[in-house]
Amino acid sequence: MTMMDNAAAALSLVAQWGSLLALLVGVAVGVVAGAIPGMSATMAVALALPFTFALEPIYGILLLLGVYKGGIFGGSIPAILIKTPGTAASSATVLDGYPLAEQGKSGQALQMALYASCIADLISNLALILFAAWLASFALKFGPPEFFTLILFSLSIIAGVSGGSLVKGLIAGAFGLLLATVGLDLVYGTDRFIFGHPDMMGGLNFIAVLIGLFALPEIIAFAMNGKDEREGGVRALGDHKLPFSEVRRCMKTIIRGGVIGSVLGAIPGIGAAPSAFLSYSEARRTSPNKENFGKGELEGVAAAEAGNNGVCGATLIPLLALGIPGDVITAIIIGAFMVHGLQPGPMMFATNGDMIYALFMGLILSSIFLFFIGGASIRLFRFIADIPKSVLLPGVLVLCVYGVYAVNNSVFDILVMFAMGWVGYLMMRLHIPAAPFLIAFILGPLLEDNFRQAMLMGQGDFAILFRSPITWVFWALTVFTLTVLIRNGLRDRKAQQGRLAVANKD
Amino acid sequence: MKSIKRILGASAILATAAMPAFAADYPKRPVTLVVPYGTGGSTDIASRSLTNVLGKHSSHPIMVVNRVGAAGVTGSVSVANARDDGHTVLAARVGSHTINPAMKRTLPYTLDDFRFVGVFELNAVVCATGANSGIDTIEQLMDKIKADPGSVSYVSTGVGTLLQLASIMIMDAYGIENPLAVTHLPMRGGGEAATAVFAGNATFVCTNSSDLASFVANKQLKPLLTTTKERLPAFDAPTVAELGHPELEVLVGWTGIAGPANLPDEAAVQWGEWLKIATSDQGFVDHLTRMGSEVVYMDPDESKQFIQHQYEVFKELVTRLDLSVE
């Protein structure tokens, strides 16, 4: 069959009420599931899987893709409204999204998240359709040494989100790296810092840590103060309409986030979190509003969500081009393919070309559906921001407990969450930023695993960390970032000393 | 009036007669089936397919609950310590119940902490190497290891997993004196591990056939041996018996249902019946077969014997090569 024949056959597959309905239901279920703290996109896709066994293959796979896309966007809703990120990736959205909600601009933040998600999603889908083969062969060049240098570079983001004091940021980062080592050692299988407690053998559940660190300190602080700072206890609704000029202003950031997401998403095993963080730090580095990042900057939300959703379409690149699952969600989707007797991989373009083109069309369509369903859900969820804190926060606390329990059905995780809540509260009081802790905690295991795998591959020779041009690029970027940081730090100090000297003279 | 009463009475009798299973003492409330591995993995999918079928035959729902962590240990411990009224059971797996107990000295449970009610799924081991590795047979691979152990590496999903133990056991069977001199590259997941071999970052992988099916079908990996009795249609590779190593047939992945040690008899009997029903359900068999598994039914005694035997073989290897970890 030629490409045109395939496209025509695909159109007849997608242009059925069943396909459209499956996609629509999928996106809607995904958005709602993603919006519930503790329900991640992964869980939603896994739960939807058995329902697809009985469906036509095209319906089933479109349904799963819809849940996936909806779920990733849905995660931004609680991140912005109640500072409760449901996944590691949406924690970057919290950094600016929640301050915006505090300023009564939750409507704008949510809309920006939606625009950024849909546009980045579209970019990612186009990358899949146009560059799948090329990106897949690039992605295969990423072995442990390349991963290690990429993650090392990503850690330099910590400097960008440290706020006023780099030292405090580094302390938080080191603490995050330390907690990430709890659990079984990957290479030797020995216990590390588990203090004889079987519950800790699996490490600290990161959803519990995330929610404890972000959502709980707010609640503890409110309980300590006993009253809302704002008169009447109601957050001003503010102007919830996002002016289009704002979207245009952030367009460059959104596109950059989408491109970062598309490249990183194509690499198996990275996931959405590094992409969201990288997109965020790049946006901050180049923005004229640099100072406003972390205090409620719409561009920050746009960057985080674009980086987060830009991964979506691209994770299908290794799946369709090579038949390799890029992450847990695509592993489930491969399962759905195989249950229907379809074999994802390079041969599928020849054997089931119509199916592939139907998927492409379904993906583009899902971005459009997401735009409308997401828009409708914002109109519903936005009212959460109007609830007085004295009513809202107890509800959030209940949701947090339920959500953390739901991830792994473990009471121990709830204890971890409360312990991290107090740690987060202390950090808040001492003005130690939470974001560097979190980034280190999420990237720490990746950094360690890949370093040790690289060392095993190279039989202890450090030369393997410089084995390919990809590693050289990331080493250069890391050195460059550190140099700029140190130079700026010295310049700021000099400027400060200069000011002090002037002040002393006066 | 009388006739209506009679009809009602008759239909009541009919209704009770039609649902003998529902009249049993077990289950009294919803049953939790703990899966000690992540959503979407092979244990998870097998368990969810199982509960899908059993939903029609149980008076109360059976819920799949994932308790992930530490290569299956976290979930297994939670069932070993659960209330032994039969309403919490475990989807036990080769990694959590024969390999980990054989290898990990500090494991917080032993096989005696569980009562097995049946094994319902088997998944043979296949060894494979990259399609462009230049290695075509298992003998070539073993010769390469003998010549220079350090130049060869194999992937696993961590210490105490089937992937690690299978690789070591096969090397041992082929007379490699020190299998530990071969580089062991642990990865975080089965897909990642197979991808590393495909991308050329490691030499070979030995794992469940289902994890490799897609790679082999796409001609990205080349299968070298299978531990099945008969050749697998999707894998063009000799069986271990053909290769003269039938003792390696013990290397097989499995999923079974286990409860805490004091699981009541009525629960064990009911689960045995349920497994019988599921393993003869065509839809269930089809799903698992397409995922690369073989559906079997082993009664409690057979299961216990099967698991105990596998454990002892593994334990002997672990002791002889000093593979145990703290």
Question: Lowest-confidence range among A61-75, A193-207, A428-442, B255-269?
Answer: A193-207
Task: Assign B204 to helix, strand or coil.
Answer: strand
In B33-52, the residues whose Cβ lies within 8 Å of chain A are 34, 38-41, 44-45, 48-49, 52
Whether complex ipTM tops 0.90? no
pLDDT for residue A235 is more than 70: no
**A10 versus B76: which is more confidently predicted?**
B76
pLDDT of residue A231: 41
Which of B31, B106, B132, B214 has the highest number of chain A CBs within 10 A, making it the mutation to test binding with A? B214
Cβ A23 vs Cβ A362: under 8 Å: yes
The pLDDT value recorded for residue B13 is 46
Q: Which of A141, A190, A198 sits opposite B77 (nearest CB)?
A: A198
Question: Which residues from chain A sit within 8 angstroms of residue B153, using beta carbons?
Answer: 456-457
pLDDT of residue B11: 47
Phi, psi angle pair for A165, to nearest 5°:
-120, 115
Domain boundaries, chain A: 3-152+202-423+445-466, 468-506
Across the range A302-325, mean pLDDT stands at 87
Minimal CA separation from A427 to chain B, in Å: 28
pLDDT at A164 over 80: no
B153: number of CA atoms within 13 Å, CB side? 23
Domain spans in chain B, listed from the N-terminal domain onward: 31-122+252-321, 124-250
H helix intervals, A341-433:
348-351, 353-381, 389-408, 411-429
Percent of chain B with pLDDT over 90: 9
Output the six-digit token pair for A243: 């002016």
**CB contact (8 A) between residue A323 and residue B217:** yes
Average pLDDT of chain B to the nearest whole number: 83
Query: Does A475 score more than 90 pLDDT?
Result: yes
- The nearest alpha carbon in chain A to B65 belongs to A409
> What's the pLDDT score for residue A439?
83
How large a percentage of chain A has pLDDT more than 90? 18
Burial of A138 (0-12, 13-18, 19+ CB in 10 A): middle
Query: Two tokens at A204?
Result: 């600290």
B contact residues 133-192, partner A, Cβ 8 Å cutoff: 150, 153, 158-160, 183-189, 191-192
What is the mean predicted confidence (pLDDT) over A194-216?
82
The secondary structure of residue B236, as a DSSP letter, is -
Q: What is the pLDDT of residue B56?
A: 81
Indicate which of B45, B103, B291 best probes the interface with A, i.e. most A CBs within 10 Å of its own CB: B45
Scanning A441-470 for CB atoms below 8 A from B yields: 449, 453, 456-457, 459
Q: Are A189 and B104 an interchain contact pair (Cβ–Cβ within 8 Å)?
A: yes
| Number of other residues whose CB lies within 10 A of the CB of residue B202 | 29
Quote the pLDDT of residue A389: 77
Interface contact A322-B74, CB threshold 8 A:
no
- Residues from chain B contacting residue A323 (CB–CB below 8 Å): 214-215, 217-218, 220
Cβ–Cβ gap B287/A53 under 8 Å:
yes
Q: Among A233-247, A248-262, A427-441, B78-92, whose mean pLDDT is lowest? A: A233-247
We find that the CATH architecture of domain B124-250 is 3-Layer(aba) Sandwich (3.40)
Distance CA A486, CA A483 (A): 5
Q: Quick check: A228 pLDDT over 70? A: no
Of the partner residues A189, A203, A341, the one whose CB lies closest to the CB of residue B69 = A203
pLDDT digits (tens, 9 = 90+) for B274-285: 888 888 888 888
Distance from CA of B155 to the nearest CA of A (A): 10
Measured torsion, CA atoms of residues A28, A30, A33, A38, in degrees rounded to the nearest 10: -160
pLDDT confidence tier of residue A500, bands split at 50, 70 and 90: low
Amino acid at the residue A6: N
- Rounded to an integer, the average pLDDT of A56-64 is 89
The pLDDT of residue A29: 92
pLDDT above 50 (res A230): no
Own/partner long-range contacts of B313-316 (Cβ < 8 Å, ≥24 apart): B313/B250, B314/B98, B314/B99, B314/B102, B314/B103, B314/B165, B314/B169, B315/B102
Question: Is A102 within 8 Å of chain B by CB?
Answer: no
Contact between A269 and B192 using a beta-carbon 8 Å cutoff: yes
Q: pLDDT (tens digit, 9 = 90+) per residue, B298-315?
A: 888 888 899 999 999 989
pLDDT for B16-42, tens place per residue?
A: 444 444 445 788 888 888 888 876 677
Q: Give the C-alpha separation, B178 to B51, whole Å.
A: 44
C-beta of residue A325 within 8 angstroms of C-beta of residue A268? yes
**Chain A residues within 8 A of B100 when measuring between CB atoms:** none
Q: What is the pLDDT of residue A418?
A: 94
| Topology match between the domains B31-122+252-321 and B124-250 | yes
Query: In chain A, positions 315-344, which contact chain B (CB-CB < 8 Å)?
Result: 322-325, 328-329, 331-332, 334-335, 338-339, 341, 343-344
Number of neighbouring beta carbons within 10 Å of residue A305: 39
Residue B12 has pLDDT above 50, yes or no: no
Distance to chain A for B316, nearest Cα, Å: 19
User: Per-residue pLDDT for B126 more than 80?
Assistant: yes
**What proportion of chain A, given as a percentage, has pLDDT over 70?**
94
Least confident stretch, A108-122, A415-429, A484-498, B70-84: A484-498
Q: What is the pLDDT of residue A225?
A: 77
Overall fold of domain B31-122+252-321: D-Maltodextrin-Binding Protein; domain 2 (3.40.190)
pLDDT at B105 over 80: yes
Query: Mean pLDDT, to the nearest integer, of A400-418?
Result: 85
A408 touches B at CB < 8 Å: yes
Query: One-letter amino acid identity for B275?
Result: L
Whether residue A229 is predicted with pLDDT greater than 80 in this model: the reply is no
Residue of A nearest to B48 (CA): A50
Give residue A232's pLDDT: 42
B4 pLDDT exceeds 60?
no
Q: How confident is the model at residue B112 (pLDDT cuts 50, 70, 90)?
A: confident
Coil, helix or strand for B104?
A: strand
CB-CB under 8 Å, A190 with B325: yes
Max avg pLDDT among A187-191, A342-346, B178-182: B178-182
pLDDT at A304 over 50: yes
Under the banding of pLDDT at 50, 70 and 90, the label for residue A373 is: very high
- CA-CA distance, A89 to A277, in Å (whole number)? 8
Lowest mean pLDDT among A214-223, B4-13, B64-73: B4-13
Q: Tell me the torsion sign for CA atoms A449, A450, A454, A460.
A: negative
Instruction: Check residue B16 and give its pLDDT.
Output: 43
Q: Bridge partners of B29?
A: none
Predicted pLDDT at A254 = 94
| Interatomic CA distance for residues B100 and A367, integer angstroms | 45
Write down the pLDDT at residue B14: 45
Confidence of residue A18 (pLDDT cuts 50, 70, 90): confident
The reported pTM is: 0.79
Structure tokens at B118: 């049946």
Read off the pLDDT band of A3 (50, 70, 90): low
* Strand B252-260 relative to strand B114-130, pairing: antiparallel
More confident residue, A298 or B22: A298
pLDDT tens digit sequence for A74-95: 888 888 888 888 777 788 898 8
